Structure 1
Amino acid sequence: MITIGLTGWSDHETIYSSTGKHKLEDYAGHFPMVEVDTSYYAIPSPQTTEKWVEQTPEEFSFVVKAFQAMTKHKEWQQYYDSETEMYRRFMDAIAPMSERGRLKAILFQFPPYFGCTKENVTYLRATREKMGDLPLAIEFRNKTWYTESNTPQTLALLKDLGFIHTVVDEPQVGNGSVPIVLKATNEEMTLIRLHGRNSAGWMKANSPEWREVRTLYRYNEEEINYWAENIRYLQKQTKEIIVIFNNNSGGDAADNAKQLQKALDISYEGLAPMQMNLFDI
């Protein structure tokens, strides 16, 4: 099973109805899954996530990004009175999705300075303990996890903890990025996130214009076919592959996702009805 979607539902002008007032509903008419990235910046309320569930078909699912203090980008003390409260708030937020069978995975994307150290291995083990048996996908942004000597141990650790390996396509610039590692660590699911290959933009993570340039990239036909082959290869290792296009800066994600869907000859049932304007013919 191959499930293709995008990061967020607010930056994809080519798939909205003429009014553009119901972006999530419009999105769900094209793709069966979405990555929620707003949860990285602020944990949503259960009322909000319940609304998202109600606005989408029963077959629609969510990958939810872990809050930034859960992935060491920030300190939890900046937001909550205790770490326990932070995790409780997050668990409450995902409950409407999880209880309805609409949660595919929680994505823990770690920062470039989260390297392969004993301390961070301990943190990964503690994360699994805190999150119980929920489906957790791990994405690294530090190359030390995938050195020649560390790669087998990294994959073994993920497998041992039941983590879903996140395979990434991103610019290869220093230690703040990781190579493509086509290995599954969870027999149920593997995540693929396609960030584009804009090296110059990727280096501007902390600049004022980062949203406009960081993932400004459009995959060409050869690159789409390359990933179609990679996905076919990974299908031999895992039951479901979640593919998320994150090249949003220039609005290219939706078109590239549909290109990949065509290359893999995939169609989806149970999508939302297409929203039509009264005067559309």
Structure 2
Amino acid sequence: MIYIGVTGWGDHNIYPKGMAARDKLKEYAANFPIVEVDASFYAVQPARNVEKWVKDTPPDFLFVVKAYQGMTGHQRGDIPFSSKEEMFAAFKESILPYKESGKLGMILFQFPPWFDCNKENVAYLRYCREKMGQFPVALEFRNQSWFSAKFRSQTLRFMESERWIHSICDEPQAGEGSVPTVLKATNEEKTLVRMHGRNTAAWVKPNGKNWREVRYLYRYNQEELLEWKNNILKLQEQTKDIYVLFNNNSGGDAAGNAKDFIQLLGIEYKGLAAKQLDLF
């Protein structure tokens, strides 16, 4: 099965004008079968939020939940927990409603560009995997050293042995803070693909306050989507389910590209939510 969606549901051009924020996930689920939860990266979410999101989506809907930033080394300053153990425990408690409803696709651990391939970081990945237990977890690197000629084979073997789902990226090739597209599944059941766009100029932090807003400013053209259709067909020979998430939304292009890709692959999803005809 190929599941296609986008990252987050708050800011896309698929909603009727004036739709309240509280209703957007319901409308989103009428268009796509999966979504990436970004709010969990910025804060461990209270159970009431997750329970609402689960309730607002149809039975077959799936969530890819981004790991809290304190767990992946993005946190600036001290974590708001007394220990790493408490942090992981709190996060696992927060995601139980996804698991109990059968709507948990996977947890995404995306590590920052400064997380390079060394013994200390390999040990920390083992720690994360151990702490997450039986939860399905995906691993995404942002430092190219993991896929250098020296370490690529070892990295992939490590991911297989530690039961990490490979988060394969399409992103600008802009130095050590980016990774190549490595079309290798490390899990027979699930593989994640994240489409970050190809805005090379903005990928490395430029001057100015709005660099985050332009980093994902990119729209995939038909030729590029065809390239990825072929990539997905190759991955289908290695893994059962493929989750594709478009993250190129600085200019509002993610949802449109996701719809284009669904059409290109000839997919017709069943079990989506009903369109929201009445905003009240």
- Normalising by structure 2, we get a TM-score of 0.96
Q: Which amino acid aligns with 1:170?
A: E
Q: Which amino acid aligns with 2:19?
A: G
Three-state SS of the structure 2 residue aligned to 1:91 is helix
The answer for the alignment partner of 2:209 in structure 1 is 208
Aligned-residue offset at 1:235: 0.2
Aligned pairs (5 A) from 1:127-276: 127-204=128-205, 208-276=209-277
Three-state SS of the structure 1 residue aligned to 2:35 is strand
The answer for the alignment partner of 2:16 in structure 1 is 17
Distance 1:25 1:211 in 2: 27
Distance 1:149 1:203 in 2: 24
* C-alpha contact (below 8 Å) 1:76/1:86 kept by paired residues: no
Q: Which amino acid aligns with 2:45?
A: P
The answer for the alignment partner of 1:123 in structure 2 is 124
Aligned-residue offset at 1:38: 1.2
Three-state SS of the structure 1 residue aligned to 2:192 is strand
Alignment of 1:8 with 2:19, yes or no, is: no
Structure 2 unaligned segments of length 5 or more: list them.
Answer: none
Aligned pairs (5 A) from 1:37-116: 37-74=38-75, 77-116=78-117
Between 1:146-155 and 1:77-86, the stretch displaced more is 77-86
Distance 1:206 1:237 in 2: 42
Provide closer, same or farther for how the CA distance between residues 87 and 170 of structure 1 changes in structure 2, counting only shifts above 3 A.
same
Aligned-residue offset at 1:83: 1.3
Distance 1:198 1:137 in 2: 24
* C-alpha contact (below 8 Å) 1:112/1:177 kept by paired residues: yes
Q: Deviations over 1:94-131 (max 9, x none)?
A: 00001111000000000001001011111111111100
Q: CA RMSD in A?
A: 1.4
* C-alpha contact (below 8 Å) 1:205/1:214 kept by paired residues: no
Distance 1:205 1:232 in 2: 36
Distance 1:106 1:206 in 2: 32
Distance 1:77 1:87 in 2: 15
Q: Deviations over 1:222-260 (max 9, x none)?
A: 001110110000000000000000001000000000111
Distance 1:176 1:52 in 2: 33
Three-state SS of the structure 2 residue aligned to 1:174 is coil
Aligned-residue offset at 1:193: 0.2
Provide closer, same or farther for how the CA distance between residues 141 and 160 of structure 1 changes in structure 2, counting only shifts above 3 A.
same
Three-state SS of the structure 2 residue aligned to 1:258 is helix
The number of residues matched between the two structures is 277
Q: Which amino acid aligns with 1:114?
A: F
Structure 1 unaligned segments of length 5 or more: list them.
Answer: none
Q: Which amino acid aligns with 2:112?
A: P
% identity of equivalent residues? 55
Aligned-residue offset at 1:50: 0.5
Between 1:24-33 and 1:86-95, the stretch displaced more is 86-95
Three-state SS of the structure 1 residue aligned to 2:248 is coil
Q: Which amino acid aligns with 1:48?
A: N
